Amino acid sequence: MKANKIVVAVMVLIILSPIAFSAASRLLTESPKPFLERPDAKYENCIRDTEYMRFHHMDYLKEVREEYVRYGIRDQEGLNSCKECHASRERFCNRCHNTVDLNVDCFGCHYYPETAPATSN
């Protein structure tokens, strides 16, 4: 009976170990923060608040792109406007995308410098 209980306990530990591992690693490693820099003062603030941009920038970009490409509405801020403040892809997009191992294919066609000299923090 006792041996059975030990086996069950070990099994539960093995099953839960990935969750525990990821939780621990999340606690131990610092979550990446996009590098904010302003090469020129075209924009005072980001077009939306940080919390919205962090989780929904892809939805926003998709919406703007649809209106830009399909309906010719060209007066909105899109991917090209991002680089007004976030000059380099390495210090902005890649910080999070690399951490979560996400490969976006925006930059095969759209120009966004991979590295650019840092201006300010």
Partner 1 sequence: MDRRKFLKTCSVLSGTACAGGLPLLTGCSQTNALERSPLKGRKWGMVIDLNKCLPDCNACAEACRKENNVAFFNDERYDIHWIRKVGIKEKDLHDAAERPMLLLCNHCEDPPCAQVCPVQATYKREDGIVIVDHHRCIGCRYCMIACPYNERAFNFKENPDWPNPERPKRSHGVTESCHFCAHRLDQGMTPACVETCASVGANVIKVGDLNDPDSEVSRLIATHPVKRLREDLGTEPKVYYIGL
Smallest gap from residue 59 Cβ to partner 1 (A): 11
CA distance 110 to 113: 10
Alpha carbon of 58 to those of 23, 61, 69, 78: distances in Å? 26, 5, 16, 11
Smallest gap from residue 72 Cβ to partner 1 (A): 4
Please report whether residue 40 would count as binding partner 1 according to CB under 8 A. no
Stretch that binds partner 1, among 21-29, 47-55, 71-79, 84-92 (CB under 8 A): 71-79
**Nearer residue to partner 1 within complex by CB, 3 or 109:** 109
Closest-CA residue to 96 (of 65, 60, 53, 39) = 53
- Counts of helices then strands in the chain (DSSP H, E): 4, 0
Size of the site for partner 1 (CB under 8 A): 16
Binding track over 87-106 against partner 1, x by CB under 8 A = ------------------x-
**Nearer residue to partner 1 within complex by CB, 35 or 107:** 107
Buried b (16+ CB within 10 A) or exposed e, 21-57: eeeeeeeeeeeeebeebebeeeeeebeeeeeeeeeeb
Please report whether residue 42 would count as binding partner 1 according to CB under 8 A. no
Q: Which residues bind partner 1 (CB under 8 A)?
A: 63, 65-67, 69-74, 80, 105, 108-111
